[in-house]
Amino acid sequence: MRPTRIINARIITPYRIIEGGSLLITGDTITAVSEETLENEDALVIDADHKYLAPGFIDIHVHGGGGSDFMDGTEEDFLRIAELHARHGTTSMTPTTLSCEREGLLQTIRTYEKMAGSGYPGSDFIGLHLEGPYFAMSQRGAQDPRYIRNPDPAEYRDILSRTGSIRRWSAAPELPGALEFADFLHSKGILAALAHTDAIYEEVLEGFERGYVHATHLYSGMSGVTRRGANRFAGAVEGAFLIDEMTVEIIADGVHLPPPLLKLVYKIKGPDKIALITDAMRGAGMPPGESILGSRTHGLKVIIEEGVAKLPDRTAFAGSVATADRLVRNMVSLAGVPLCDAVRMMTVTPARIMGVSDCKGSLLPGKDADLVLFDERIDIHLTMIGGRIVYSKNDDGL
């Protein structure tokens, strides 16, 4: 590929904005970033026209989009999801499963391994995230109760013996066998995350010490302050706040968490401990109406309305229909967060949580040429992955 020069850009770093900056890409790698105009006569030139240039967004919890779910288990569905989210600025993602039947999970794993690194035109896959089935029934939310159970060593050891693609597994730390489960995940270099949990603070702390160092979709499917008899106990939410080293992720669609809670999480945890996630299901990028959470054959019927997916009886949310650009936009417009911090929570921080910060998450020489160009409204004009343009708002590249 020819080198690429991007000029006249407002380059977003984790801490500042470089006005009128330029960036040089050689092959699939960023080779220079400057406050001055970089020169290279052989390079393709893209004039950013003073739009914002940011690292590509990294979504570490996403189930689907564009009418497809990763649990559908086909290459066509994986590709449709990757393309949909790339149009909204996501350059890397962690495909996420749900509590499900064994064969459905194994099929999703097999398809992931066929797709990963195959050069498809869409968001890069950086590892699988298994969400369930080891959850508290009382906090299942839209997770299918038919499949929820306690950790089973024979089951999870068998699954992990079949694949090296799982990078993260979410579970409730208070369940029988959950601490031993975290020990085993740690031995395999897999991130254990607490989720759909009724744990009180003491159980969260013990879980953190054993490896549950990240909180999946904070507030959603998670205990808060509870009473047992006359006594009050801090829950999982408070545990995530009190343990300074614990990282959290939030669904910043403005519905799962309203603006006051977005502001509270940001105030307590700060941008270095927060990852923005879509938790998007197949309805992302689709019109309102009936849909399915999970696979087409074994999933749950849901309704998409008012910018979110809900169970048919409207007793619980059933995943979001957000895209990454919407998350960044909401943190700025609804929570009053500085743009650099909002972008950091969608780039640097999730890259560090998933262990890919050596090559992704910031615009620095030597890192992957994954980047997005957007305007003041945070509408995406260009998405580039590995130095290749995978989405352009206009035919001329911008």
Q: What are the helix and strand counts (H, E) for the chain?
A: 10, 25
Does some domain include residue 221?
A: yes
Residues 122-162: pLDDT tens digits?
Answer: 999 999 999 999 999 999 988 999 999 999 999 999 999 99
- Sheet strands (E) in 236-329: 247-251, 274-277, 289-293, 300-305, 308-310, 317-320
Q: Is the peptide bond before 260 cis (omega within 30 degrees of 0)?
A: no
* pLDDT, position 396: 47
Query: Residue 234 and residue 249: Cα distance in Å, rounded?
Result: 19
AA letter at 345: M
Domain that holds residue 300: 57-353
Specify whether 116 is located in the same domain as 29.
no
**Helix 259-269 vs helix 324-333: crossing angle, to nearest 10:** 90
Q: Which CATH number goes with the domain that contains 230? A: 3.20.20.140
Looking only at the bridges linking them, the beta strands covering 371-374 and 52-55 are antiparallel
Judgement on whether residues 295 and 163 belong to the same structural domain of the protein: yes
Asked whether residue 84 is domain-assigned, the answer is yes
87 in the same domain as 39? no
Write the pLDDT tens digit of every residue in 205-236.
Answer: 999 999 999 999 999 999 999 988 899 999 99
395 pLDDT tier (thresholds 50, 70, 90): low
In sequence order, what are the beta bridge partners of 335? none
Q: How far apart are CA 133 and CA 296, in angstroms?
A: 19
- Kindly report the pTM of this predicted structure: 0.96
Q: Give yes or no: residues 251 and 379 share one domain.
A: no
* Statement to judge: residues 378 and 299 lie in one domain: no
140 and 18 assigned to the same domain: no
Q: How far is CA 266 from CA 23, 204, 214, 234, in A?
A: 30, 20, 16, 20
The answer as to whether 283 is a domain residue is: yes
Report how far residue 143's alpha carbon sits from residue 226's, in angstroms, rounded to the nearest whole number: 22
Domain count, the chain: 2
